[in-house]
Amino acid sequence: MSSDFNDKWAEFEEMCLKCTGCGLKDTVTNVVIYRGSRRAPLMIVGEAPGAEEDKEGKPFVGRSGRLLQSLIDAYGFGENDYHICNICKCRPPDNRRPEPSEIAACKKNLAVQFKLVQPKVILLCGSTAYEGFFGNKPVMKDVRGQFIEKNGFFIMTTYHPAFALRNPANKIPIFEDMGKVRDKLAELGLMEPWKGLN
Ligand code: URA
C-alpha cells in the first residue's frame, strides 16, 4: 500500500477511536474496526461487535465469526480478498441491537471505510446491516440472496450467521448466498472461478 493510503487509513482509525457520535464508546473495551485486508473486492458487513469482538478488537471472532469464517474458507477466499466490518464499531451493552441513532452516528465512519477499502461486492449479514445500508427494515426472506446493483456496486443481503447457530439448517441459504457472491467476484474478474469443495 502507498504511504498516502497508509496515512489515510491511520486518519480513519484515529477518527473511529476518537468518535463521539454516540455514547457507546464510553462503555466498550475496544472500538472494533475491521479484519481482513484494508483494500479488498469484497466487504462483509455485520451488525455490531459482541463480547468476544469487544475483547479482541476484531469483528466476527466469536461463534458467529467462526461460522462465517468457515464459509469464507470453503469458498477459497484469501485474506486479500475480503474486508470484514460492522455497521456499528462499538458493542452495544448486553448485545442489544444498535439503536437507529447509533447506526446513524457510525455511518460516517463506515462511509470513509468504504471509500478506502473500495469493494465491488458487499455482503450484508442480517437485517441491521441491511437497515444501516438502505435505511429501511427488510423482510429478510424477501431480500436475501439477490444482488442489488447500485452505483456500480453489487450488494447481496444474507442472514446473519447467528441465525444459523440457532438452527443448522439455516446455514444452507447463507452458504448459497456466499456462493453467489463468490461467483460474482469471478464474473467481475476479481477472483479466479471457484473450484468447488475439496
Ligand atoms: N455479530 C456481528 O454482527 N458482528 C460481529 O462482529 C460479531 C457478531
Q: Is 54 in the pocket of ligand 1 (CB under 6 A)?
A: no
Q: Is the pLDDT of residue 183 over 90?
A: yes
User: Residue 84 falls within a domain, yes or no?
Assistant: yes
User: Residue 161 falls within a domain, yes or no?
Assistant: yes
Task: Return the CATH number at 43.
Answer: 3.40.470.10
User: Residue 134 falls within a domain, yes or no?
Assistant: yes
Q: Is the pLDDT of residue 90 over 70?
A: yes
User: Residue 101 falls within a domain, yes or no?
Assistant: yes
Number of domains in the chain: 1
User: Residue 94 falls within a domain, yes or no?
Assistant: yes
The stretch 142-153 carries a mean pLDDT of 96
User: Residue 27 falls within a domain, yes or no?
Assistant: yes
Q: Is 127 in the pocket of ligand 1 (CB under 6 A)?
A: no
pTM recorded for the entire structure:
0.97
Q: Is 128 in the pocket of ligand 1 (CB under 6 A)?
A: no
- How many angstroms does the Cα of residue 116 sit away from the middle of ligand 1? 21
Q: Using CA atoms, how far apart are residues 129 and 137, in angstroms rounded to an integer? A: 10
Query: CB of 85 within 8 A of CB of 58?
Result: no
β-bridge pairing 121-125 and 42-46: parallel
Q: Is 53 in the pocket of ligand 1 (CB under 6 A)?
A: yes
Q: Is the pLDDT of residue 197 over 90?
A: no
Residue 198: predicted pLDDT = 64
Count Cα neighbours of 192 within 13 Å in the Cβ-side half-sphere.
7
User: Residue 22 falls within a domain, yes or no?
Assistant: yes
- Structural domain that includes position 173: 3-187
Residue 1: predicted pLDDT = 84
Q: State percent of the chain over pLDDT 70.
A: 99
Residue 174: predicted pLDDT = 97
Query: CB of 51 within 8 A of CB of 95?
Result: yes
Distances (CA, A) of 181 to 34, 55, 177: 20, 30, 6
Q: Is 65 in the pocket of ligand 1 (CB under 6 A)?
A: yes
Neighbouring CB atoms inside 10 A of 158's CB total 27
User: Residue 198 falls within a domain, yes or no?
Assistant: no
Q: Which residues of 92-113 are buried (b: 16+ CB within 10 A; e: fewer)?
A: beeeeebeeebbebbbebbeeb
The stretch 113-122 carries a mean pLDDT of 98
- How many angstroms does the Cα of residue 51 sit away from the middle of ligand 1? 9
Q: Is the pLDDT of residue 149 over 80?
A: yes
The stretch 44-63 carries a mean pLDDT of 98
